[in-house]
Structure 1
Amino acid sequence: MPRTNYRSQTTFTVPSQGSVSLPPLRPPSPNHEVYITFPISSKIATGLHWHETHTEYLQIIQGVALVTLGDSTERYTAKSGVITIPRYTVHESRHVDLIVKEWTDPADGEKAIFFRNVVGLILDRDPAARTLQNLRTAWNLFVVFWEWDNFPRFVKMPRLWGLGNSVERGVTWAILGSAALIGRWVGVRGTYEEYGTKDDLRP
């Protein structure tokens, strides 16, 4: 798939779905906050997922978000303050005409590189792509998820003596890990120079 060089770009818009504003790649910014805007027509949701090396923070700037933390879903607005999402906590955000700010601890800039690669792949995808091409894009997104601490929950298990969480994580690790392992042999990577890489996080 041909890749567009988005390295100098800081705002990315997916038509009718929303936009994301990111810090510049060069020079590295001390500000690692990410701003995401969803119009009222957007049907995007993050999907249930968790992070293993980062605590995530959300703050609603405008609008309303439905945020799921574990098994509880609540409405959040700008008056709700900062939403803290601990590591390994399964969570999801659904949006209604929303602007939200996200950042992480550690504040290492990885979230911005993650978004650069995810949105870059989506924007470079051929809208008229056939099923096989769409599957390859999904495969590439799985490798990006693996590379950048974003683990989707593919199955929901009963909470039996703590085994449910272990099974859920095991399934996700098996799927993403296999995608990344096979991807190494065929050039499907978690970062692309045209979008942004770990090298861009270095001073």
Structure 2
Amino acid sequence: MALDPLPSNTQAILRAGAEAVAYHIPIAPPSTTNPVLKSTVALPSRSQWTSGLHYHTMHTEYLRLIKGSIFVELDGELKFFSAKAGGEVSWRTGELLTSGLELKVDRYARHNWGRAEVRLVSRRLGLHVKIVSPEDRDEEVIVEEWTDPADITKPLFFWNLNGVITGIQDAPLSRKQSLVEVVLGNWWIPFQLFIIFWDLDNWPVFVSVRNLGLPFLGEHMDRCFGRLVEHVMTFMVLFAAKFVGTITGTRAIAQDRTPNDLWNAYKQTRL
């Protein structure tokens, strides 16, 4: 369910199922009253939703945990945060390790987050050790997201991403788009998402090869080469989608998926 009351300057998009999530997304560009556009993500108990492993090249991202407990994977390091505990907690003992519920994600830093139980369960299945869950493990999770620079990229991303996934599209497909839809079949939606990823600074890690296990390279070079492989794979997939999208007129940002004020701001800035 959507938060009540809604966060200021937002509207909600709800997605049900195993990966249930409620996005509360800004509907207008930055202003004197709302200089920083914050999107709020709410995850109900037992939701398997995760952000997916990805990185940004043009924006520093900030996450702030308001309620519940989450895992955060940041550049290969897995951490757990609990709003009730007030910061990062140990999955072995449950004790508070570091105070603070705001996390900075630098440009190019690979990251992924979701409900703590998603990773605690997988860790419990993989290791014969005691797992201490945060006290608020079963509570609804509420997380705020925003970026620096504080532009309209993140709201545009969330609106158009969810518009494609939920099928919010009034404009009919062109002949070229219809042909691509038939050819791609079940890949039609991922194809559209890849174009959104390319244009709106969201670079998914399709295959994590951070450490290739090549001892002759040395640990540092092995890690750097693995990261280069990830970047190249991501670039090639998204570039191919963007190329086909340009030919067929399939765009990342569509008016029928975007609130009017954001659409007008986008037309003026043309990100």
Shorter-normalised TM-score: what interval? 0.7 to 0.9
Match of 1:86 among 83, 106, 121: 106
Q: Secondary structure of the equivalent of 1:173? A: helix
Q: Secondary structure at the match of 1:99?
A: strand
Larger RCO: 1 or 2 (CA < 8 Å, sep 6+): 1
Structure with more helix by fraction: 2
8 Å Cα contact 2:255-2:263 kept in structure 1: no
Q: CA deviation at 1:9?
A: 7.4
For the pair 1:180 / 2:242, whether they are aligned, the reply is yes
Distance in 2 between residues matched to 1:42 and 1:59, nearest whole Å: 19
1:189 is the counterpart of 2:209: no
**Cα distance in 2, alignment partners of residues 30 and 195 from structure 1:** 23
Are the equivalent residues in 2 in contact too, given 1:61–1:77 (CA < 8 A)?
Answer: no
TM-superposed deviation, 1:131: 10
Is residue 135 of structure 1 aligned with residue 219 of structure 2?
no
Letter in 1 for 2:25: L
Who is 1:33 aligned against? 38
Structure 2: distance between partners of 1:53 and 1:44: 25
1:102 is paired with a residue whose SS is strand
% identical aligned pairs: 30
- Check conservation: 2:23, 2:41, Cα contact below 8 A: yes
Give the Å deviation of 1:76: 1.0
Residues 143-158 of structure 1: matches in 2 within 5 Å?
Answer: 143-157=195-209, 158=211
Give the 3 Å change call, closer, same or farther, for CA 173–27 of structure 1 in structure 2: closer
What secondary structure sits across from 1:25 in the alignment? coil
- The structure 2 residue matched to 1:68, chosen from 66, 69, 73, is 73
Aligned-pair distance for 1:20?
A: 0.7
Tell me by how many angstroms 1:187 deviates: 2.5
AA at the equivalent of 2:16: P
For 1:153 and 1:169, the matched residues in 2 are separated by 8
Asked whether 1:57 is paired with 2:62, we answer yes
Q: 1:199 to 1:67 in 2, by over 3 A?
A: same
Unmatched segments (≥5 aa) in structure 2: 1-8, 88-100, 117-139, 170-181
- Letter in structure 2 aligned against 1:87: R
Alpha-carbon shift at residue 199 of structure 1 (Å): 4.3
TM-score by length of 1: 0.86
CA contact (8 A) 2:29 2:151 kept: no
Name the larger-Rg structure. Answer: 2
Deviations 1:129-151 (A, max 9, x none): x9954310110011101111000
Contact conserved, 1:67 with 1:75, CA < 8 A, in 2?
Answer: yes
- Note if contact 2:30-2:37 (Cα within 8 Å) is conserved in structure 1: no
Number of residue pairs matched? 194
